[in-house]
Amino acid sequence: MNGNLGAIPAELAGKVVTPGDRRYHILRSTYTTVGRPAAVVLPESAHDVGAALRLAQDSGLRVAIRSGGHGLSGSGTNDGGLVIDLRALNRIDVIDRGSRLVRIEAGARWAQVAEALATHGLAISSGDHGNVGVGGIATGGGVGWLVRQYGLTIDHIRAVEVVLPNGTAVRADAETEPDLLWVMRGAGAGAGVAVAFEIEAMELRDVGYAQLLLPVDPAGETLRRWADVIAQSPRELSTAVLLSSQGSTAAAFITAVVASDNPSVVRDALEPLLGIADITVQQAHIVPYTELVPRFHLHANTGQMPSRTTNGLLTGLTPDAARALVTAASGPAPAFVQLRSLGGATHDPAPSSMAFTHRHQDILAIASAFSPNERSTLAAAWKPLAPHIDGAYVNFESARDEAAFARAYPGSAGTRVTDLWKHYDPEGVLRPRPPA
């Protein structure tokens, strides 16, 4: 779609920001990508979202949807198109405390959600940064600090309020529009614009929180010991590993979160991690969950971290895969490599129950490279790891080609996703480059 911005409908008066507007420079970009859209629309209701979608179609403009704008993929902006920024749709309500059911609008950010739910003793595993928007995670997956105890964010979505590309607002739940619910939980970006979610939260206030710094050997045996510990750990333990280049090898910075405020549970979950290498720095505390996604994370997204990202899921960690991870994170042109522990509750749902079908993998590996040579750096770093990959997570993928689609939605899942995208968005409004 290419065109010029047409006449702005009355219901969007004052809600359309164009390049001449003083607000444009703080609205045009995501955290990783500087965008140059023809306009950014700031809807205040589902009706406004429908009007924005019609404006895009009438103007012949491609569409990008943004909730938080922090997303690593950079898909929340574009050049020459229309960005629909959902930040004004940010209500957070507890519908039923007894069943822990909450309603969260797509433009809220996770720092706001954590803070609002904490007063009720509730939490949702929802990414690892408070600035991330609800809509992106809750339509793609959601790998958070509580992932092995809670599962993915999408695993607990009970209903989604969606504006379809034709402007119609619908509710998708198990009884009404079950196909739409299926695709919105993992592949929602190509079916409609989610404006609100009903999500079942968990009982949680405080968590165990530890940080460890340790060397990583070139063969990656340290990483294999970490993977073995996680495979045998209780569900309460979730970890994230950042690999930092140390010349020809790497160091690992491990953040470990235990979904419990019981000191003995926290200690027993963390203790096996202490044996995987000679730890140089360690600290452990029991803290409110809100400290993991704090309000000070909330900031403007202005393309301040230009980068390109790819990722892959791993089923176990073989010696070759571990060595490839260390190689990717070290050497003369290293990538920024992160590992997230899966397993536990992420394995509970049936693979066919939603569009995110990856239910046997144990690790999510993410690699990012930064400007000015991000494409070549990332390609070189990822090449040795690619043969070991068993699926991918759409939210951590900058590429928007058929190969990336196939990694995220393999086999029959990809066929069903494609069919449902075509059903709910026959004109391809939300997918300017659809898979074949």
Which of the 8 DSSP states describes residue 196? E
Q: Average pLDDT, whole number, for the chain?
A: 95
Q: How confident is the model at residue 375 (pLDDT cuts 50, 70, 90)?
A: very high
**Angle (CA) 431 435 436, round 5°:** 130
Q: What's the pLDDT at 334? A: 93
pTM score, whole prediction: 0.96
Structure tokens, 69 = 């704008």
Q: What's the pLDDT at 434? A: 38
Mean pLDDT of 400-425: 97
Q: What domains lie within the chain, and their CATH numbers?
A: 10-85 (3.30.43.10), 92-204+414-424 (3.30.465.10), 207-401 (3.40.462.20)
Q: What's the pLDDT at 127? A: 84
**Residue whose pair of structure tokens reads 């219901």 in the numeric block:** 11
Q: How confident is the model at residue 3 (pLDDT cuts 50, 70, 90)?
A: low
Mean pLDDT of 178-189: 98
Mean pLDDT of 268-282: 93
The Cα 120–Cα 100 span in angstroms is 9
Flag the least confident range among 75-79, 139-143, 281-285, 373-377: 281-285
Residue 2 has pLDDT above 80, yes or no: no
> Residue 80: CB partners within 8 Å, gap ≥ 6?
2, 36, 37, 38, 61, 62
Mean pLDDT of 287-314: 95
Q: Which residue has the higher pLDDT, 126 or 238?
A: 238
- Three-class SS of residue 63? strand
